[in-house]
Amino acid sequence: MSISRRNALKIGMTTLGGLYAASPLSRMVFAQDAAADTFNTANGSVSVHPVSHASFVLQTPGGVIYNDPVGGAELYSQLPAADLILITHEHSDHYDVDTLNALMGENTQLLTNPAVLEMLPGELKERASAIGNGDSTEILKVGIEAIPAYNLTEERLKYHPKGRDNGYLLTVDGMRVYIAADTEATPEMRGLSDIQLAFVPMNLPYTMGVEQAAEGVADFAPAAVYPYHYKGSDIDAFEKLVNAANADIKVMRGPWYG
Ligand SMILES: [Zn+2]
């Protein structure tokens, strides 16, 4: 009998999740070739599987959530199937119709920003729903609020104009997870509170530099933060700046670029 990596991951989660249940925020690696970080919630855990750049998968007590999956279904073949797919905005490193078509199972739900909903082809559009900046919904018992994601710097406004794109604030079993999407350190980001886990982008010219990202993160002070969407950026410098401002913020590393 052979155990697939997906099953191996499940077994790992069950076993280790039980062992570490007393720890409020713990980090574990389950398999060398499919690293996942797991954070305990009140009734279970949330596992983070970085896939690439802006794409990742969250295993939650209510179901499996894919964020901005692109790059072809093969990248996701070792991961559990999606119950919910979130799309933040229309750029090709966040939104890819072929990948969506391949990943949408019979019962998979698809939630996007309004602009992407309008550009989805027929069947995908029929199955999708959208929320705009400031709106909230609940799917898989996960609270979902759309946090505005946009540029602030004059020469970057063309990339992510205010009002179009979504970041997402998820409330999973009491744990607040902030997916910033492509944004600068907006007042909406800086004003967040009680965030346990955050995903924050940095790369120029599209989002922001490491200094601004670190400043924004220090302001809302998540318990843990993944730099993601950082191709070419100095995340060592990011970590130093964050921890100089607040040594309690845990900067997470993931295999975003291989
Ligand atoms: Zn973008």
For 8-49, the pLDDT digits (tens) are 343 334 333 333 333 444 443 333 335 689 999 888 899 999
Task: Taking residues 65-70, report their average pLDDT.
Answer: 98
206 C-alpha to center of ligand 1: Å? 7
Domains of the chain: 5-251 (3.60.15.10)
For 214-244, the pLDDT digits (tens) are 999 999 999 999 999 999 999 999 999 999 9
- DSSP secondary structure string, 141-159? TEEEEEEEE---SGGGTTT
**Mean pLDDT taken over the chain:** 88
210 C-alpha to center of ligand 1: Å? 17
90 C-alpha to center of ligand 1: Å? 7
Task: Taking residues 149-159, report their average pLDDT.
Answer: 93
For 82-137, the pLDDT digits (tens) are 999 999 999 999 999 999 999 999 999 999 999 999 999 999 999 999 999 999 99
- Residue 6: per-residue pLDDT: 38
Q: Identify the bridge partners of residue 179 per DSSP, sorted by sequence position.
A: 168, 199
211 C-alpha to center of ligand 1: Å? 19
- Residue 34: per-residue pLDDT: 52
204 C-alpha to center of ligand 1: Å? 11
Instruction: Specify burial of residue 106 (Cβ count, 10 A radius: 0-12, 13-18, 19+).
Output: exposed
23 C-alpha to center of ligand 1: Å? 36
pTM metric for this prediction: 0.87
159 C-alpha to center of ligand 1: Å? 6
21 C-alpha to center of ligand 1: Å? 37
Q: How many angstroms separate the first and last alpha carbons of the chain?
A: 30
